[in-house]
Every structure is written in C-alpha cells, then in structure tokens.
Amino acid sequence: MRFTSRNARLAGAAVAVVLTVGLSACSSSASDDAAPADGTLGTLKVGALATPAGEILDFISDNLAEEAGLTIEFVPFTDYSTPNPALSDGSIDANLFQNSTFLETYNSAAGGSLVSVGDIYLPSAAFYSDELTDIDDLADGARIAIPNDPTNEGRALKILASAGLIETTDEPTTLTDITKNPKDFNFDEIDNATLPQAVADVDAAFVTATFALPAGLTLDSAILVEDADSPYANILATTEELESDPRISKLHELLLSAETQDFINETWGGLILPLSE
C-alpha cells in the first residue's frame, strides 16, 4: 500500500488561511445592515460555487426573492479555500458551499467563528471510472484518486470502507487512518477541483457533485455513491453577527421551500438531494 505524506502541505495551507483572515479588514457585513426605507429586507451577498449552489441562488433570486422582499447578490467562487475568508472579512454576508465538518476545520485552523444556519442540500459524492461499471471490479493494486483536503478525503475513505474495500479508523481524515487495505490500492491525493480530469488517468476517482456536474458526471455514470443519510450536507453559513439577521433567516426559509426543493430534484435528478426543516 502506498501512502502519500502531506502533513507539511496541510500545515502550510492552515497557515495561509490564518494569514488570509488575519490580514483582511474586519467588517460585520458586506451589505448595508440597515433595512431600506421601503420596508424590504434589502440585499444579501452570498458566496458560492456556480454548481449547484449558484444555480439554486439564481433560481431563488429570479422566482422567490422579490416577493419575499429580499435581493440576493450571488458572488461566484471557483474553489473551496476562498469563500470562508471572504465571509470572515465581510466581503460577503453568507456562503453556501461546505458541510459542517469543513466549517469546523476552517474555524479551528483560522481562529474563526463562522456559524452554520442549517443544512440545505446533500451534494452526493461518488466514485467514477472510465473503465469499470462496478466498484467491486477494482483489481489488486488499483490506482484511486481522492481529495487532498481532510474533510473530503475522510469522506472518500469512509465510502470505500462502507463498501468493504478497506478498513479505517472511526473518523478517517488521511491515508494513515487506513487500517486494512487487502487489495493494496494505491491512492493519489488530488485537489478536489481537478478530480474530474483525473477520472481518465486512474482506475477510479472520487468526485463531489459540485465538480462532477460541470464535468458531465452524473448519478447514472457513478460506480459507487454515498448513502443518502450521509452527514456531509451543505450548509448555509454566516457570521455570528449576522446569524439572526432577517435577511439570513429569509434566505434560509427560501432555500428549504417546496419550490426550491422541486427545482433541485428536477434539475439534478437525485445527485443533489434537497433537505427540509
């Protein structure tokens, strides 16, 4: 079994995040805290990756927000490392891209105090392959690509363990948490955003829905999908100062509305699972 050491890389990333937060100008909100004179709630800047969160926010903005008195300004991001620092420094008011474990890891590394408003949807993660149609067909010594961040790396390892292909500690985060690897799989740790491109180069690759969908990877093309009761639901996150802001409360309500749930189901056919109160 080949394990790739990345402790130094993780430490460097944590330091970079801390420096990013420390150097940012502090602000409680990217939008004007005062409610407009016309009685509407005002504008809320929400950071997210384009798919699926950005499309969900656009749907709400186009169909539900005006009647609710809310203006949503979608601020696009292309990676997982920048939305939380942007929220911490007040560039945005909320973000929608991460699960609670990712948020806790960020707060711990950066000394942050961002909070979850609640679970919104589950972006199902899966293993994909250009050659195989079933995860059990992985040969001895197969090469498997997995994310290089602790949250999603642990998620990938848990899915493989649930399929009986490896054994891990109760809460794995790195390759060193693999306790048994009977088929001597080789693991390549890769940045989450580049995993769709790795599918062609390895025997199997773990890809989260955020990056699978733009690459044309669907539920039907997956060879192993995580269970629907996965604890990795994406959350609406904000700052402690804005947690009770009526704009945040209204957005949370709209994200969990029947209209939004129908949109998610119709658009992504089961790869994105909407949640409710």
In CATH terms, the superfamily for domain 13-123+232-274 is Periplasmic binding protein-like II (3.40.190.10)
**What pLDDT, on the 0 to 100 scale, is given for residue 6?**
39
Task: Determine the Cα–Cα distance for residues 1 and 18; give it in Å rounded to an integer.
Answer: 34
Other beta carbons within 10 angstroms of residue 38's beta carbon come to 7
One-letter amino acid for residue 31 of the chain: S
Residue 11, beta-bridge partner list: none
Domain boundaries, the chain: 13-123+232-274, 126-225
CB 234 within 8 Å of CB 121? yes
Q: What's the confidence (pLDDT) of residue 16?
A: 40
Fold that domain 126-225 belongs to in CATH: D-Maltodextrin-Binding Protein; domain 2 (3.40.190)
Looking at the DSSP bridge assignments, the partners of residue 236 are 96, 118
Q: What is the pTM of this model?
A: 0.79
Query: Do the first three CATH levels of 13-123+232-274 and 126-225 match, i.e. the same topology?
Result: yes
**Which residues of the chain fall short of a pLDDT of 50?**
1-28
pLDDT value at position 157? Answer: 97
Percentage helix, strand, coil for the chain under 3-state DSSP, each rounded to 5: 40, 25, 35
